[in-house]
């Protein structure tokens, strides 16, 4: 059985976003195997996929002068620091090579964040492609960087402003890269990658482009964007090697179908049938570390907005947040974990952080969204801007919005009707051709979008 190896950024959201895509390869007779750290094994194997442990190359992100000075002083003071870092880096390179040698995959899908692994696997007989768990992160005319809150329009002024946003963003990226290079006295991981590439006769500039929102873009292989094409702005033009695929969500939620949840569901469904209530579901992804702080300040405002509308009911997934600090309100229920796919089949609206997986699941379920991005460092703000532009939802600010403002936005999105989305049920022939694989003889079952 041929193997499709998935080398993903080690965060649960990246794995769950790619499970549906991996399932499509299973349907073509491939064995899907994911790499990752030990703590993610259970998540992967619970879905019926293979798993092998892998430690990724270290990533250093310098976002402050204090962090820069600390790393610089450490590098200067410790003569052996660079050699130890090189050994750690090279050990990770050897680890991924060993995995590939052991499994001999026919296909290797690299998370866009790990595109540089293509350098480590140069010469492998496997076909390599990039899988992007976000919308397109590359430069495009009249579309801002994916972490921008700006919503563009079809105008010269908008195009000029987007150009400026990209110049500012790419300058910021260059400054961060320079700080990292200087902190390690010129010998950061990019230096190690470049030296390896030169030894293999590879010109890095022929493989990678810098016009990307987060990481350098691998240009010489197919890129799979795990999102519906319709979510992008209408004037977006995919490159010949870019493919939008919107697989069906693939996640086992049996553990979350608790008695508490099912009892609440039956009660609310009965009230919905009489027109007595509109159900608002709220969840904000993985609430750990710094992400939890803005949520703690925002939740009382959201709860207060719902409290004032007795015909609304808020079902809030709290995760690991302590509920003792939240008020006891008659039309609000707190559940640590909620089976999201099941909930979206009967919820009237969702309040979300704007992660792409949740956005896609809401679109498939026809549920409008009120998006409150946790920060401006990732794609959440760009997703929220697209929802606003297409009137499939609205964007908000956790710090600025008041309970009255939240209530007004919820009232607005509850009137929205979304297009009817269908997920991809087969791999498109265009992608198979790009991967040099045989294409189906018969017309494949593929996504169709019908406006209501």
Measured CA to CA, the distance from residue 137 to residue 113 in angstroms comes to 11
Strands 420-421 and 449-450: antiparallel
Structure tokens at 278: 């509109």
Query: What predicted TM-score, i.e. pTM, was given to this entire model?
Result: 0.90
Query: Are 77 and 178 within one domain?
Result: yes
Please say whether the beta carbons of 115 and 133 come within 8 A.
no
Query: Are 268 and 225 within one domain?
Result: no
Query: Are 275 and 242 within one domain?
Result: no
Inform me whether the pLDDT recorded for 89 exceeds 70. Answer: yes
Measured CA to CA, the distance from residue 189 to residue 45 in angstroms comes to 32
Query: Are 207 and 283 within one domain?
Result: no
For 129, the domain range is 3-248+423-440
Query: Are 21 and 50 within one domain?
Result: yes
At 445 the pLDDT is 38
Measured CA to CA, the distance from residue 364 to residue 362 in angstroms comes to 5
Inform me whether the pLDDT recorded for 442 exceeds 60. Answer: no
pLDDT range class, residue 439, cuts 50, 70, 90:
low
Please report whether residue 386 resides in a domain: yes
- pLDDT tens for residues 173-203? 999 899 999 999 999 999 999 999 999 999 9
Query: Are 298 and 241 within one domain?
Result: no
Tell me what the mean pLDDT of segment 429-436 comes to. Answer: 93
In sequence order, the β-bridge partners of residue 312 are 278
When divided into structural domains, the chain yields a total of 2
Inform me whether the pLDDT recorded for 113 exceeds 70. Answer: yes
Query: Are 66 and 84 within one domain?
Result: yes
Distance of alpha carbon 421 from the chain centroid = 19
Query: Are 427 and 363 within one domain?
Result: no
Please identify which residue in the block is written with the tokens 């919308």.
135
- Which DSSP helix (H) or strand (E) runs through 272? helix 259-273
Helix, strand, coil in percent for the chain, rounding step 5: 45, 15, 40
The proportion of the chain whose per-residue pLDDT surpasses 90, expressed as a percent, equals 79
- pLDDT tens for residues 222-248? 999 999 999 999 999 999 999 999 999
The residues, ordered by sequence, that sit 6+ positions from 1 with a Cβ below 8 Å of its Cβ are: 29, 30, 31
Query: Are 29 and 66 within one domain?
Result: yes
Please report whether residue 208 resides in a domain: yes
Mean pLDDT of all residues belonging to the chain: 91
Query: Among candidates 66, 65, 88, 84, which has minimal Cα distance to 75?
Result: 84
The CATH number of the domain where 48 resides is what? 3.40.50.2000
């Amino acid at each position: 059985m041929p193997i499709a190896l998935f080398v993903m950024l080690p965060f649960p959201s990246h794995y769950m976003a790619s499970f549906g895509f991996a399932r499509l390869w299973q349907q073509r007779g491939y064995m899907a195997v994911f790499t990752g750290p030990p703590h993610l094994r259970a998540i992967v194997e619970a879905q019926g996929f293979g798993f092998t442990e892998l430690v990724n190359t270290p990533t250093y992100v310098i976002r402050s002068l204090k962090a820069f000075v600390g790393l610089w002083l450490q590098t200067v003071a410790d003569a052996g620091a660079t050699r130890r870092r090189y050994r750690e880096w090279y050990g990770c390179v050897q680890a991924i090579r060993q995995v590939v040698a052991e499994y001999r995959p026919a296909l290797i899908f690299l998370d866009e964040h790990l595109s540089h692994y293509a350098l480590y696997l140069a010469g492998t007989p496997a076909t390599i492609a990039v899988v992007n768990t976000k919308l397109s992160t590359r430069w495009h005319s009249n579309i801002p960087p994916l972490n921008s809150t700006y919503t563009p329009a079809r105008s010269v002024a908008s195009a000029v402003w987007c150009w400026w946003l990209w110049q500012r963003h790419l300058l910021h990226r260059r400054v961060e890269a320079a700080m990292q290079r200087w902190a390690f006295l010129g010998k950061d991981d990019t230096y190690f990658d470049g030296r390896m590439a030169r030894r293999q006769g590879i010109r890095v500039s022929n493989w990678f482009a810098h016009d990307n929102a987060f990481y350098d873009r691998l240009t010489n292989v197919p890129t799979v964007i795990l999102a519906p094409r319709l979510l992008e702005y209408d004037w977006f033009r995919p490159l010949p090697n870019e493919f939008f695929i919107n697989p069906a969500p693939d996640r086992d939620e049996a553990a979350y179908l608790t008695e508490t949840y099912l009892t609440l569901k039956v009660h609310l469904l009965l009230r919905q049938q009489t027109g007595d209530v509109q159900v608002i579901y709220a969840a904000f992804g993985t609430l750990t570390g710094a992400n939890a702080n803005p949520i703690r300040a925002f939740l009382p405002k959201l709860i207060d907005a719902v409290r004032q509308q007795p015909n609304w009911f808020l079902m809030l997934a709290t995760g690991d947040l302590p509920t003792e600090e939240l008020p006891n309100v008659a039309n609000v229920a707190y559940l640590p974990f909620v089976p999201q796919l099941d909930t979206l089949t009967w919820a009237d609206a969702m309040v979300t952080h704007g992660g792409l997986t949740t956005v896609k699941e809401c679109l498939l379920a026809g549920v409008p969204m009120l998006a409150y991005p946790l920060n401006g460092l990732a794609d959440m703000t760009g997703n929220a801007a697209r929802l606003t532009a297409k009137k499939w939802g609205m964007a908000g600010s956790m710090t600025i919005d008041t309970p009255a403002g939240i209530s007004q936005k919820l009232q607005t999105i509850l009137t929205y009707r979304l297009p009817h989305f269908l997920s991809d049920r087969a791999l498109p022939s265009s992608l198979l051709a790009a991967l040099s694989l045989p294409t189906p003889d018969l017309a494949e079952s593929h996504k169709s979008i019908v406006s209501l």
